[in-house]
Structure 1
Amino acid sequence: MASVTFTGNIGKSQGLKFSQDGKPRLSFSAAETARVKDQSGQYVDGGTTWFNVTLFGYLAEATDAQIAAQGGKGKVIVTGRMSTREYEHNGEKRESLDVVADSVGFVPRNQPAQSQQQPSQQPAQGGWGGQPANAGGWGSGPANEPAF
């Protein structure tokens, strides 16, 4: 499998499901649309690539909660292992891009600037993909540096 990192908009989420032994799994689609320059130098949207993203364990639960908190919308950064598979739909052969995610991060939505904005009173989630700072990944090393 190839490693991939992409930024995309959340599509349809199938919701959190559990295996027979109780392990959580989340699947959702994410769309990445390329921006390209046309002949006049203006940026225009190119083709859209859809990815089927699957997460397991704590990452699945945390991501499901975050997607729900954002109303099923938002932009994510996904890192994981990508594979392709062929399938048939209405007699037509198609190909699917599937990603088993190792990490998922949410891109903050644009918020209007406020001159008197107060700092958030909620504790920081820490970690990459909503994981607690001690769960590994980003934010788990000394002084919140990446743990390599």
Structure 2
Amino acid sequence: MNKVILMGRLTKDPELRRTNTSGIPVVSFTLAVDRRFKSQNGERETDFISLIAWRQQAEFVAKYLHQGSKICVVGTLQTRSYEKNGEKRYVTEVVVEEVYFAESKNSSAQGSNSTANYTPTAKAQGQAPVQANDAFDMDNGDEFFKTSGSDDVLPFSL
């Protein structure tokens, strides 16, 4: 089984690119993830994890996430290699399958540029959290997210 779940903050604004041959949207970005335990000097260490998102997830990440946005991602770990200047290089990254907002709008306004929120109570109340491939309306800041194919309103607003 290959499943990765991470929560952290974006280190910079993601930039959407497209593949040369077929024009598929892709975005690479880095997530700063704090370790669970403090070091001997009492500080939390941070890991910087490389992620890559494709298609709808790439467009979602590029459009709605910014440097400092706190998110939760679910994906798979992937390794690949390439050659540069005759030297073989290896890359380990997480391929993003799902993206969730991980802080409220009020928190994001104080600490980052995130444009929406996700609260853990959504899952506890039996309602689906917003995923990168869900359809939603962000025209009005007071509107609620709605999951595609459903009239149920999620318990958070923009």
**TM-score (norm. length: structure 1):** 0.60
1:9–1:30 CA contact under 8 A, matched in 2: yes
**Larger proportion of strand:** 1
Question: How many residues get paired?
Answer: 119
Deviations 1:61-109 (A, max 9, x none): 1110112xx4x2211101001134679xxxxxx9754001001112224
Which contiguous aligned blocks of 4+ residues in structure 1 show a shift greater than 6 angstroms? Answer: none
Write the distance in 2 (CA, Å) between the matches of 1:51 and 1:99. 8
CA distance, structure 2, for counterparts of residue 44 and residue 141 of structure 1? 46
Q: Distance in 2 between matches of 1:107 and 1:14?
A: 17
Q: Between Structure 1 and Structure 2, whose CA radius of gyration is higher?
A: 1
Query: 5+ residue gaps in structure 2?
Result: 83-88, 108-128, 137-145
The whole-number CA distance in structure 2 between the counterparts of 1:106 and 1:76 is 5
Post-superposition shift, 1:23? 1.2
Kept in 1, the 8 Å contact 2:134–2:147? The answer is no
Deviation at 1:129, TM superposition (A): 2.6
**SS of residue paired to 2:131:** coil
Query: In 2, Cα distance between the equivalents of 1:106 and 1:49?
Result: 20
Unaligned runs of 5+ in 1: 88-93, 113-125
Q: Report the alpha carbon displacement of residue 36 of structure 1 after superposing the two structures with TM.
A: 2.1
| Identity within the alignment, % | 25
1:55 aligned partner: 53
Could you tell me the TM-score, scaled by structure 2's length? 0.57
Structure 1 residue aligned with 2:74: 79
Corresponding position of 2:25? 24
Kindly indicate whether the alpha-carbon contact (under 8 Å) linking 1:82 and 1:97 is maintained by their aligned counterparts in 2: yes
1:101–1:144 Cα change, 3 Å: farther
